[in-house]
């Protein structure tokens, strides 16, 4: 059976693990070839372990197991020149670019919010928001040149729809992604390139499933229970739940869906 994305090519940031790897595997399962990248190094203000070279190699293994092609490279989402080079090489190898998943993101914490360090603010905004912009900026000319339309999917968060205690930089960056996506949706509509955001509640990925996060939340039980309450009886959702939404937004089934903010939140925004 032919997949919904057969013959298409997807660029995915933060692809070494978590949501990014899941998106790569899910889109590959639907027939897409993958251009994957991740910084694969620790950042100064991030308190939990980030992805490694071995993680990115595992993404390659899982995509190739599905008999799809993949280019994987260590690229920092803040590096415009490296991003442009990756897109150029990917299009030269695969012949086109149809899907862009601006997924890379980091978080750190400050409680109360005004104790946040400048470095924490700068790094989170640079990776989450500016990184999404730079990824899209590098990819869009190739998508327009190919003339096939396409889909840009930006990972925001429920923290991009409401305020969260302790993460002003993360919430601001995720709100900013919504404004960026909506503006790009307007500018890219004449080229049949759609731009949408997804807004997960807590997802079972290494961003939250790590020893540092467990300790942080254990020290703040009232705060964590107030800010992470889903309406449905789950504390976190599965990573594939986000990837399923991404696959739909990337497919022709969503060919006239653009400029929307899609919660995958187990009812969090209604709680």
Convert the pLDDT of each residue in 136-151 to its tens digit.
Answer: 999 999 999 999 999 9
Catalytic residues: 170
Alpha-helical (H) ranges within the chain are 18-29, 53-65, 80-94, 118-125, 131-146, 168-188, 211-218, 221-227, 239-250
Phi, psi at 193, each rounded to 5°: -105, 120
pLDDT of residue 227: 53
- Tell me if 3 is assigned to some domain: no
- Tell me if 2 is assigned to some domain: no
In a 13 Å sphere around the CA of 109, the CA atoms on its Cβ side amount to: 17
- Tell me if 226 is assigned to some domain: yes
CATH number for 206 = 3.40.50.720
- Tell me if 270 is assigned to some domain: no
- Count the neighbouring beta carbons within 10 Å of the beta carbon of residue 41: 11
pLDDT of residue 225: 44
User: What total of structural domains would you count in the chain?
Assistant: 1
- Tell me if 271 is assigned to some domain: no
Burial 104-116 (b: 16+ CB within 10 A, else e): bbbbbbbeeeeeb
- Tell me if 161 is assigned to some domain: yes
Model pLDDT for residues 232-256, shown as the tens digit of each residue: 999 999 999 999 999 999 999 999 9
Which residue ranges in the chain fall short of pLDDT 70?
1, 217, 219-228
Collapsed DSSP state (helix, strand, coil) of residue 106: coil
Task: Give the span between the Cα atoms of 188 and 263, in whole angstroms.
Answer: 22
8 Å CB contact between 99 and 23: no
pLDDT of residue 253: 98
Task: Give the span between the Cα atoms of 44 and 123, in whole angstroms.
Answer: 8
Task: Give the span between the Cα atoms of 150 and 140, in whole angstroms.
Answer: 9
pLDDT of residue 221: 58
pLDDT of residue 236: 92
- Tell me if 1 is assigned to some domain: no
pLDDT of residue 18: 97
Residues spanned by the domain of 66: 9-265
């Amino acid at each position: 059976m032919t997949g919904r994305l057969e013959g298409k090519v997807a660029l995915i940031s933060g692809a070494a693990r978590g949501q990014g790897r899941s998106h790569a595997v899910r889109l590959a399962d639907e027939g897409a070839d993958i251009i994957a990248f991740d910084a694969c190094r620790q950042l100064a203000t991030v308190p939990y372990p980030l992805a490694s070279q071995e993680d990115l190699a595992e993404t390659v293994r899982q995509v190739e197991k599905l008999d799809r092609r993949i280019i994987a490279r260590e690229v920092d989402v803040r590096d415009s020149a490296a991003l442009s080079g990756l897109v150029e090489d990917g299009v030269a190898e695969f012949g086109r670019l149809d899907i862009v998943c601006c997924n890379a993101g980091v978080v750190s914490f400050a409680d109360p919010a005004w104790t946040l360090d400048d470095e924490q603010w700068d790094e989170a905004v640079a990776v989450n928001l500016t990184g999404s912009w730079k990824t899209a900026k590098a990819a869009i000319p190739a998508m327009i040149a190919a003339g096939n339309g396409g889909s840009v999917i930006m990972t925001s968060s429920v923290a991009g729809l409401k305020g969260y205690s302790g993460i002003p930089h993360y919430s601001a960056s995720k709100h900013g992604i919504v404004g960026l996506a909506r503006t790009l949706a307007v500018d890219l509509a004449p080229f049949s390139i759609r731009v949408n955001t997804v807004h997960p509640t807590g997802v079972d990925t290494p961003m939250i499933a790590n020893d540092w996060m467990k300790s942080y939340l254990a020290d703040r039980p009232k705060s964590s229970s107030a800010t992470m309450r889903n309406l449905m009886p789950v504390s976190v959702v599965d990573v594939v739940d986000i990837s399923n939404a991404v696959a739909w937004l990337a497919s022709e089934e969503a060919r006239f869906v653009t400029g929307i903010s899609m919660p995958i939140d187990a009812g969090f925004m209604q709680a």
